[in-house]
Structure 1
Amino acid sequence: MKSIFTLVLAIVSFSAMAQVNSMTTNLYDSYSKYKEASLDNRRIKHDDIQPLIMKLESDPKYTVQKVGESIKGKKISLISIGTGDTSVFLWSQMHGDEPTATQAIFDIFNFLNSADFKSEKEELLSKVTLHFLPMLNPDGAEVFTRRNVLGVDINRDALMLQSPESKILKRIRDSLDADFGFNLHDQSTYYNAERTAKPATISYLAPAYNYEKDINDVRGNAMKVIVYMNSIIQKYAPGQVGRYNDDFEPRAFGDNIQLWGTSAILIESGGYKNDVEKQEIRKLNFVSILSACYIIATGEYKSIPLEDYEKIPENDRKLFDLKIERFTHKLLGNDYILDIGINHLEVEDKNHETFYNVGSIVEKGDLSTFYGYETLDATGYRLIEGKVYPEIVQTMTDLEAMDIYGLLKSGYTYVRLAQFSQKDKDVSVPINILSKDQKVPGFYVNIGNNPNFVLQKDGSVDYAVVNGFLINLQTKKSNFKNAIFYK
């Protein structure tokens, strides 16, 4: 009799999980209907989300409360929906330059406001109450920086509670006594899933609540939900999930929230090829968070094997934007075979609304255990420093009319312009600009240098690297964003 009961229970559980998986697929396929179009880039600010929150205030199914202010007086709001006994608390952007999940939260509101998935939403909101605290660090978001105005990392202020934002987070957690907490972050795009070339597009952690890394029911439930979320991401970004090291950090909110009795789930949005603004990753947040909330509502997470959590590969940090392997480089009369790793560093404009890239060599030598979003096997190619075109070009219009790829193929990575009024340092054409009297920046294959060179083989220049961007001169293909104006 017991075995028949177990079989029936398993069939019911499988059927319910299949329903969740079907919902997930439909959410992914229909995402464009819910994407909040006004939040279309990473550098969102407090003013960008206030009109959206005001709309929710006028909707009776939401409760919107001002729960405090940032150091500079920006309002911080808690937005709640649902009538269920299970409390789920989601907070985002405690680091001001980590906005991907904030965008996804407003996509989730659009989904909840739609007429779609009626039965699923009724089940979700009758069993769960969702509490959202988007943009905990609005002052940091204003200047797109990690810390708050006090210079404090809010995620290391769980004990001293020096910052008003930290006090707000602690007070809300305690008042809700939430069953589950989603701690939503961004991580560097240079993390990869351990021992693979795949970026850690999403990384998870069920933080430890003590140095021994014990697993009680609270932490175990977080692990089970993460296992399910991993299965969702694997459908759309296979192999691109990492698991954070779970060493106990006594100052961190995630670790303490786990200790205080809320099943804490850390989600980090990393990198995805050709997704600089993280819009595909935003979509993955939307789908996986909603799906996780749904299995929390149904209770299906309880049957997920705990041991599957350890099967998620650990995070590693061995990715470059560009890796060039095994090129030949001459130094002091001798030839050497080297690899280099190049990253495209972001430089903010003065209003912190956009950015340009400055390429930088960040590693060299034997990089056989590292990977690149873009990798070139340069075996047999010789690296040659880029030259300055000998004639002065009068205007930008004149430059744009020239055969720039031809210039690169001749080894030129710089031109001089007689008239150039560009205020910022970024240049839209794939060649660097010098003023007419500017000296040539010296280039060496050294860490920290801005890479501008060509790769030559058998007398033919087939590739150029301009400001760290690789340009295939045979096909003219590249992911070039900008060159540099050397003032």
Structure 2
Amino acid sequence: MKQLRFLLILILPLIGVSQSQDITTALYDTYENYKEESLNKRRIKHTEIAPLIVKAKANPRFKVSNVGTSIAGKSLSLISLGKGETSVFLWSQMHGDEPTATQAIFDILNFFDSPDFKEEKEAILENLTIHFLPMLNPDGAELYQRRNLLGIDINRDALRLQSPEGKTLKRVRDSLEADFGFNLHDQSTYYNAELTDKPATISYLAPAYNYEKDINEVRGNAMKIIVFMNNILQQYAPGQVGRYNDDFEPRAFGDNIQKWGTSTILIESGGYPNDSEKQEIRKLNYVSILSAIYTIAKENYKEIPISEYEKIPENDRKLFDLKLVGAQYELMGKTYTLDVGINQLEVDYKDHNRFWYSSRVIDQGDLSTYYGYETLDASAHTMKPAKVYPKILESMSAAKDLNTADLLKKGYGYVRMDGIPLSALNSPLPVHIIGKNYEVPELMLQPGVNPTFFLEKNGVLEYAVINGFLIDLNVENPTIPNAMIYR
């Protein structure tokens, strides 16, 4: 009898996990049916989600409440559904430039508004009441910035409650007395899973509620849900999950909401190769969050061992957009061997709807403990300065008529132009545009400079690095997102 009881203890959680994996696979495979197509880029604004909230308000499946306003008067809405005793509360975009989960929330709402997955949705909605507060910081989203209009980090306002957005979050959490909370963020794309070259595509944290980092039932349940979600994501982004340091931050909402009795799961959306707009990560949010909601409804998470939480690799920050390994660099008559780490940094246009790149050397020297989204073994290559094309161009149209592939093969990384339009902020070509009298500085590689040079092997130029983007000179029509303009 004892053996039978022991076998049941082992088998029942496995049955639950198997059921959850089945729904996860189905969610992943059918995602495009529910993706909210009106939200297809990171720089989303309150005006873009407002019609979706109005649509939800007109839908009898959902209850929509205005729960507050931002400093600039933008509405904060709570969208609720379900009738179960267990309360689940999800809030997103506390930081205005962290929108991935906001998009996923509207995908999830589309899922619940569909006739599909009837059995699974009945299990969820009979057992849970789910509340979504998307875009807590709409003023920050308008400017695509982390902080609100007061200039404070809302996630450090849990004690003073100076901001109306922070007051709203506290009031809603308290009114719901939520059993589970999902604190949804984005993190830098330069985080990696510790000791690997894999980006931390998703990172988790069950925040501590005291300096001692004690684990009570509330925090333990958050850890179990995170272990479950990690297992889900390993199917689609193997090795690309990280875990945040759990040092207690007494001002942070996540730490306090955990302390106030809500099992709080922090989710951070990081980087994924060739996914600058984070649409694949958005999909992973959708799949993993819905799967977690399902396992909460079924209570399958309860038997998951907390010890598995500590096995998730910690977050590290050792990724570059481009890493060059062992390039030969000549300085003052001597040759040195350098690794070079380059990041392609975004600069917003004035409307904060689009961006361009202004890249920088971030580090150089021995970078053997660092990784790159793109890595080139440059050990047989010597860095060479980019030359200035001798002809002065009269207009942008003349520049676009250039055979830039030929220019690059000859080592030209700059073209002069007389009268560069003031409206032009960056070069649409894979070469820099410079003013008639601009003096190109000597190649002096230092952290902070714009990375522009060529890589030569056996007397032949094989690669160009223009504005931090690597160009194979054997490619027929080389393109990069943009180069720079120096007037």
* TM-score bracket for this pair, using the shorter chain length: over 0.9
Residue 448 (structure 2) aligns with: 448
Determine if the alignment matches structure 1 residue 438 to structure 2 residue 435.
no
Q: Relative to 1, partners in 2 of residues 1:442 and 1:332: Cα closer, same or farther, differing over 3 Å?
A: closer
Partner of 1:97: 97
Alignment correspondent of 1:246:
246
Amino acid at match of 1:76: L
Map of 1:108 onto structure 2: 108
Q: 2:33 maps to which residue?
A: 33
Asked if 1:174 corresponds to 2:177, the answer is no
Runs of at least 5 residues in structure 2 that lack an aligned partner in the other structure: none
- Contact between 1:451 and 1:467, CA under 8 Å: does it hold in 2? yes
Which stretch of the first structure deviates more once superposed, 290-299 or 402-411?
402-411
Partners of 2:250 and 2:61 lie apart in 1 by: 37
Return closer, same or farther for 1:478/1:229 CA change in 2, 3 Å cut-off: farther
Indicate if the aligned counterparts of 1:443 and 1:449 stay in contact, CA closer than 8 A. no
In the aligned structure 1, how far is the partner of 2:419 from the partner of 2:58? 55
Question: For 2:353, what is the secondary structure of its paired residue?
Answer: coil
Deviates more, 1:54-63 or 1:418-427: 418-427
CA distance in structure 2 between the aligned counterparts of 1:433 and 1:262, rounded to whole angstroms: 55
Question: What is the Cα deviation at residue 141 of structure 1?
Answer: 0.5
Give matches, 1:127-206, under 5 Å: 127-206=127-206
- What is the distance in 2 between the residues matched to 1:399 and 1:191? 38
What one-letter code is carried by the residue in structure 2 that aligns with 1:386?
A
What percent identity do the matched residue pairs reach?
A: 62
2:465 is matched with which residue? 465
Distance 1:214 1:156 in 2: 21
SS in 1 for 2:462: strand
2-structure distance, mates of 1:291, 1:314: 23
Where in structure 2 are the equivalents of 1:286-435 lying within 5 Å?
Answer: 286-418=286-418, 420-421=420-421, 423-435=423-435
AA partner of residue 437 (structure 2): D
The answer to whether the Cα contact below 8 Å between 1:68 and 1:168 also exists between their aligned partners in 2 is: yes
C-alpha separation in 2, matches of 1:335 and 1:8: 68
Per-residue deviation at 1:12?
A: 3.8
Q: How many residues align?
A: 487
Change (3 A) 1:339 1:415: same
Q: Which moved more, 1:328-337 or 1:199-208?
A: 328-337
Aligned 1:205-284 pairs, distance under 5 A: 205-284=205-284
After TM superposition, give the deviation of residue 392 of structure 1 in Å: 1.4
Q: Tell me the residue number matched to 1:46.
A: 46
Change (3 A) 1:289 1:82: same
Deviations 1:96-146 (A, max 9, x none): 000000000000001111111011001111101100000000110000000
- Comparing 467-476 and 240-249, the one that deviates more: 467-476
Q: Secondary structure of 2:358's partner? A: strand
Q: Give the secondary structure class of the aligned counterpart of 2:239.
A: coil
Q: Is the 8 A contact 1:443 1:450 kept in 2?
A: no
2:338 and 2:245 mapped to 1: Cα distance? 32
TM-score, scaled to structure 1: 0.98
In structure 2, how many angstroms separate the alpha carbons of the residues matched to 1:185 and 1:380? 42
The question of whether the paired residues in 1 share the 8 Å contact of 2:42 and 2:100 is answered with: yes
* 8 Å contact kept, 1:425–1:486: no
Return the letter of the residue paired with 1:36.
E
Residues 1:126 and 1:477: Cα distance change in structure 2 (over 3 Å): farther
Superposition deviation, residue 391 in structure 1: 1.0
Distance in 2, matches of 1:27 and 1:477, equals: 39
One-letter amino acid of the counterpart of residue 7, structure 1: L
Measure, in 1, the Cα distance between the counterparts of 2:361 and 2:354: 23
Amino acid in structure 2 at the alignment position of 1:174: D
Q: Letter of the aligned partner of 1:208 in structure 2?
A: A
Deviations 1:14-59 (A, max 9, x none): 2232111011001101111111111110000111100000011011
- How far did residue 444 of structure 1 move? 1.6
Contact 1:443 1:451 in 2 (8 A): no
- The 3-state SS of whatever aligns with 2:234 is helix
Give the match's secondary structure for 1:235.
coil
Task: From the superposition, tell whether residues 171 and 80 of structure 1 become closer, same or farther in structure 2 (CA, over 3 Å).
Answer: same
One-letter amino acid of the counterpart of residue 286, structure 2: F
> Which consecutive residues of structure 1, in runs of 5 or more, have no partner in the other structure?
none
| Distance in 2 separating the partners of 1:195 and 1:133 | 36
Match of 1:87 in 2: 87
User: Are the equivalent residues in 1 in contact too, given 2:430–2:479 (CA < 8 A)?
Assistant: no
Q: Which moved more, 1:438-447 or 1:319-328?
A: 438-447
